Protein backbone atom coordinates (compact mmCIF):
# COMPACT_ATOMS: atom_id res chain seq x y z
CA UNK A 1 0.00 0.00 0.00
CA UNK A 2 1.12 3.52 -0.62
CA UNK A 3 1.99 5.51 2.46
CA UNK A 4 0.59 8.76 3.74
CA UNK A 5 1.20 11.61 1.33
CA UNK A 6 1.26 15.30 2.09
CA UNK A 7 1.28 18.24 -0.27
CA UNK A 8 2.96 20.56 -0.67
CA UNK A 9 6.22 19.52 0.96
CA UNK A 10 7.44 23.09 1.39
CA UNK A 11 5.58 26.35 1.63
CA UNK A 12 6.61 29.95 2.21
CA UNK A 13 3.99 32.49 3.20
CA UNK A 14 3.93 35.96 4.71
CA UNK A 15 2.25 37.10 7.88
CA UNK A 16 -1.48 37.61 7.56
CA UNK A 17 -1.91 35.19 4.70
CA UNK A 18 -3.74 31.92 4.93
CA UNK A 19 -2.57 28.47 3.91
CA UNK A 20 -4.10 25.09 3.15
CA UNK A 21 -2.22 21.83 3.57
CA UNK A 22 -3.37 18.50 2.20
CA UNK A 23 -3.03 14.93 3.43
CA UNK A 24 -3.98 11.67 1.75
CA UNK A 25 -4.11 8.74 4.18
CA UNK A 26 -3.16 5.15 3.57
CA UNK A 27 -5.81 3.41 1.52
CA UNK A 28 -8.53 2.09 3.80
CA UNK A 29 -7.63 4.32 6.71
CA UNK A 30 -10.44 6.54 7.87
CA UNK A 31 -8.78 8.52 10.64
CA UNK A 32 -6.47 11.44 9.95
CA UNK A 33 -4.66 13.35 12.67
CA UNK A 34 -2.58 16.50 12.37
CA UNK A 35 0.43 17.47 14.46
CA UNK A 36 2.59 20.57 14.59
CA UNK A 37 6.31 20.15 15.20
CA UNK A 38 8.49 23.08 16.28
CA UNK A 39 11.92 23.16 17.94
CA UNK A 40 10.52 24.89 21.00
CA UNK A 41 7.24 23.10 21.61
CA UNK A 42 8.03 19.75 20.06
CA UNK A 43 5.20 17.69 18.63
CA UNK A 44 1.74 18.91 19.46
CA UNK A 45 -1.62 17.50 18.47
CA UNK A 46 -3.89 19.72 16.40
CA UNK A 47 -6.97 17.65 15.58
CA UNK A 48 -8.29 14.34 14.37
CA UNK A 49 -10.89 13.62 11.72
CA UNK A 50 -12.84 10.44 11.19
CA UNK A 51 -15.56 9.93 8.62
CA UNK A 52 -15.60 13.64 7.81
CA UNK A 53 -16.14 14.60 11.46
CA UNK A 54 -13.71 16.18 13.87
CA UNK A 55 -13.70 13.91 16.89
CA UNK A 56 -10.73 15.23 18.84
CA UNK A 57 -9.05 18.60 19.09
CA UNK A 58 -5.88 19.91 20.66
CA UNK A 59 -5.27 23.25 22.28
CA UNK A 60 -4.75 25.52 19.29
CA UNK A 61 -6.50 28.79 18.40
CA UNK A 62 -9.44 28.89 16.04
CA UNK A 63 -7.16 30.06 13.23
CA UNK A 64 -6.31 26.41 12.81
CA UNK A 65 -9.06 24.41 11.20
CA UNK A 66 -9.46 21.30 9.15
CA UNK A 67 -11.82 19.13 7.27
CA UNK A 68 -12.05 15.67 5.85
CA UNK A 69 -13.60 14.54 2.61
CA UNK A 70 -15.59 11.43 1.82
CA UNK A 71 -12.48 9.73 0.43
CA UNK A 72 -10.76 10.34 3.81
CA UNK A 73 -8.38 12.93 2.40
CA UNK A 74 -7.94 15.78 4.81
CA UNK A 75 -7.01 19.43 4.58
CA UNK A 76 -5.73 21.73 7.26
CA UNK A 77 -6.14 25.48 7.03
CA UNK A 78 -4.36 28.20 8.95
CA UNK A 79 -5.73 31.71 8.60
CA UNK A 80 -4.01 34.98 9.43
CA UNK A 81 -0.58 33.42 9.63
CA UNK A 82 1.80 34.45 12.38
CA UNK A 83 5.56 34.02 12.54
CA UNK A 84 5.09 31.41 15.24
CA UNK A 85 3.16 29.21 12.86
CA UNK A 86 6.39 28.31 11.11
CA UNK A 87 6.68 24.59 11.69
CA UNK A 88 6.66 21.13 10.24
CA UNK A 89 3.06 19.95 9.95
CA UNK A 90 2.68 16.21 10.11
CA UNK A 91 -0.32 14.20 9.13
CA UNK A 92 -0.92 10.69 10.45
CA UNK A 93 -3.44 8.13 9.37
CA UNK A 94 -4.86 5.09 11.11
CA UNK A 95 -7.66 2.63 10.66
CA UNK A 96 -9.68 4.52 13.25
CA UNK A 97 -12.26 1.84 13.84
CA UNK A 98 -10.74 -0.56 16.32
CA UNK A 99 -12.17 0.02 19.81
CA UNK A 100 -8.86 0.04 21.61
CA UNK A 101 -6.81 2.24 19.40
CA UNK A 102 -4.44 1.54 16.60
CA UNK A 103 -1.13 2.70 15.25
CA UNK A 104 -0.73 6.01 13.50
CA UNK A 105 1.41 6.16 10.38
CA UNK A 106 2.92 9.48 9.45
CA UNK A 107 3.41 11.33 6.21
CA UNK A 108 6.62 13.19 5.28
CA UNK A 109 5.25 16.50 6.52
CA UNK A 110 4.82 19.97 5.10
CA UNK A 111 7.44 22.52 6.08
CA UNK A 112 5.72 25.90 6.46
CA UNK A 113 7.80 29.04 6.74
CA UNK A 114 6.09 32.31 7.61
CA UNK A 115 8.02 35.48 6.79
Partner 1 sequence: AQTVTQSQPEMSVQEAETVTLSCTYDTSESDYYLFWYKQPPSRQMILVIRQEAYKQQNATENRFSVNFQKAAKSFSLKISDSQLGDAAMYFCAYRSALNYGGSQGNLIFGKGTKLSVKP
Could you tell me the maximum CA-CA distance found in the chain, to the nearest angstrom? 43
User: What is the DSSP-derived secondary structure letter of residue 72?
Assistant: S
| 60 counts as binding partner 1 under rule CB under 8 A | no
Q: Is 109 in the site for partner 1 (CB under 8 A)?
A: yes
Of residues 31 through 50, those in contact with partner 1 by CB under 8 A are 31, 33, 35, 42-43, 45, 48, 50
Give the up-direction half-sphere exposure of residue 52: CA atoms within 13 A in the CB hemisphere. Answer: 3
The smaller minimum CB distance to partner 1, of residues 16 and 102, is found at 102
Which residues lie closer than 8 Å to 115 by C-beta, 6 or more apart? 12, 13, 14, 15, 83
| Binding segment toward partner 1, per CB under 8 A, in 21-29, 68-76, 79-87, 99-107 | 99-107
15 vs 55, beta carbon nearer partner 1: 55
Amino acid sequence: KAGVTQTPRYLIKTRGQQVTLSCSPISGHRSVSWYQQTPGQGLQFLFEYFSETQRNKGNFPGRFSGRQFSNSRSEMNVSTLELGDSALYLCASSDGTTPWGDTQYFGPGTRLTVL
